[in-house]
């Protein structure tokens, strides 16, 4: 069984968010949370909250509701580009430079490990 969580319109750029998401892909949830706690990036906090939400969604989806974090694996983790806000920065000699403030959409899919 699997569950997913989405974090849309996050203020971090997709490139910066992908650096963090690449650290936890295909790992167990308890291992991923410990990695994110010690990652020195602002995007790590957003990814950690989304991962906790995906785990909670899986627990709520199960009938028994009893599953530990080391029995759940991150099946999919990807970051897509969200809308960009356009801003203008004044430049010398009457010019203006366009600044794009990028946003991102984070998707995490967690799955229960099959115990054989």
Domains within the chain, CATH numbers bracketed: 2-112 (3.90.470.10)
pLDDT, one tens digit for every residue, the chain (116 residues):
899 999 999 999 999 999 999 999 999 999 999 999 999 999 999 999 999 999 999 999 988 778 999 999 999 999 999 999 999 999 999 999 999 999 999 999 999 988 76
**Which neighbouring-strand residues pair with 70?**
none
pLDDT digits (tens, 9 = 90+) for 37-67: 999 999 999 999 999 999 999 999 988 778 9
Name the nearest CA neighbour of 11 among 69, 82, 67.
82
Write the CB contacts of 66 (distance below 8 Å, at least 6 apart in sequence).
Answer: none
Evaluate the CA torsion angle 36, 85, 76, 112 in order and state its sign. Answer: positive
Q: What is the C-alpha to C-alpha distance for residues 36 and 44, in angstroms, rounded to an integer?
A: 5
Residue 8's pLDDT is: 97
Asked whether the whole model's pTM tops 0.85, one would answer yes
Residue 116's pLDDT is: 60
Q: What is the DSSP letter of 25?
A: T
């Amino acid at each position: 069984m699997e569950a997913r969580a989405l974090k849309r319109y996050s203020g971090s750029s997709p490139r910066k968010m992908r650096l963090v998401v690449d650290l936890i892909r295909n790992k167990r949830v308890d291992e991923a949370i410990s990695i994110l706690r010690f990652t020195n990036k602002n995007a790590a906090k957003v990814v950690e909250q989304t991962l906790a939400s995906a785990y909670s969604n899986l627990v709520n989806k199960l009938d028994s509701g009893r599953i530990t974090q080391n029995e759940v694996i991150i099946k999919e983790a990807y970051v897509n580009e969200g809308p960009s806000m356009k801003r203008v920065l004044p430049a010398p000699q009457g010019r203006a430079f366009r600044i794009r403030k990028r946003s991102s959409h984070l998707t995490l899919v967690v799955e229960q490990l099959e115990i054989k």
